[in-house]
Amino acid sequence: MFGRAGIEGRYRPEDIFTRDIFSGFGFDFDDLFSRFFGGGGFNFGARYGPRKGDDLRYNVEISLEEAADGVTKEIAFPRNERCSTCNGTGAQPGTSPRTCSNCKGTGRVEHRRSSGFAQIIQVTTCNVCGGKGTVVDKPCQTCNGNGIERKTRRIEVKIPKGIEDGSYLLLRGEGEAGEKGAPSGDLYVVVNIKPHKYLKRRGRDLIYETEISITQATLGTQIVVPTLDGDAELKIPSGTQPASVLRMRGKGMPGGFGRGDQLVVLNVVIPKKLNQRQRELLTELAEEFGEQLSPSSGWVEKGKKILGI
């Protein structure tokens, strides 16, 4: 409304592309950029000057026991590092990059043209320095002027106890080296926990499934159960029902509130084949309980009538 003077009088230079100025004129900031730029704002300085290094990802696999106790792993991975000869400048030792005379070190060039009453300003990447803002007259022979070289990085990663499968650790500055002194990227170490032979994890609790016989469930017994702390004895009470769950407190994974529990799921196995002596004993037991193993004649006749036999 008031031209350049109005903008300079009301706002600081850093306020020009913030949300407040657009809301002051009645615009919805998010809607404005979604209409003209496909959603989201933009950063004028992001495309110019030395570029920050890329982030890297490294997958590390550990056992459930290591996840419970915590472990330190040494990992090795290739990455771009700052050139040891030129220290990342890209110039031969004894020389230095000079400021680009075309863009005055900004990495961008403005092109102005008038269209009627309006003046159009187009900003492009400097074609002389490629947006870096500096020019290397004598490139380093080790890195060919890139300022980076490929190396294998070895570091130790401390994995905390109780970590969840698929969690990641962020190591800042351990990613790819940035261009000519720009900050390095980050390293994301993704932790994968190998499946355990016996135990399954559910949060801080561990689940162990085992089978017991019908006599063990009926009379009660003691069984040996694998845990993260080694084998442990577990008492099975008499009269245990199929799919019962017994809790071993403090035998699970560590967490913010101490260790979880280990849940033992008991599956009662019904024998499919019996010899003659076993069948006789079970028949006697059924008679002792007063159970009817075969339907009475009355039920048989009723069934035949229903089926039309």
Q: Does domain 196-299 have CATH number 2.60.120.10?
A: no
DSSP 179: G
Domain regions of the chain by residue span: 3-32, 56-97+136-193, 196-299
- Nearest residue to 210 (alpha-carbon basis) of 238, 249, 237, 244: 244
- Inform me whether the pLDDT recorded for 116 exceeds 80: no
Strand order in the sheet with 205-213: 200-202, 205-213, 262-269, 244-248
Tell me whether strands 254-255 and 258-259 are parallel, antiparallel or unpaired.
antiparallel
- Residues whose CB is less than 8 angstroms from the CB of residue 102 and which lie 6 or more positions away in sequence, other chains included: 109, 126, 127, 128, 129
The one-letter amino acid code at 253 reads M
Measure the CA–CA gap between 19 and 9, rounded to whole angstroms.
Answer: 18
Q: Phi and psi (nearest 5°) for 130? A: 70, 25
Q: Say if residue 177's pLDDT is above 70.
A: yes
pLDDT level of residue 46 (50, 70, 90 thresholds): very low
Topology, domain 56-97+136-193: HSP40/DNAj peptide-binding domain (2.60.260)
- Asked which of 26-40, 115-129, 159-173, 274-288 is least confident by mean pLDDT, the reply is 26-40
Residue the block writes with tokens 């290397």: 136
* pLDDT tops 70 at residue 289: yes
Q: What is the mean pLDDT of residues 54-74?
A: 96
pTM to 2 decimals? 0.65
Residue 207: pLDDT over 70: yes
The mean predicted confidence, pLDDT, of the chain is: 82
Hey, do 56-97+136-193 and 196-299 end up sharing a CATH topology, with the first three levels equal? yes
Average pLDDT over residues 54-68: 96
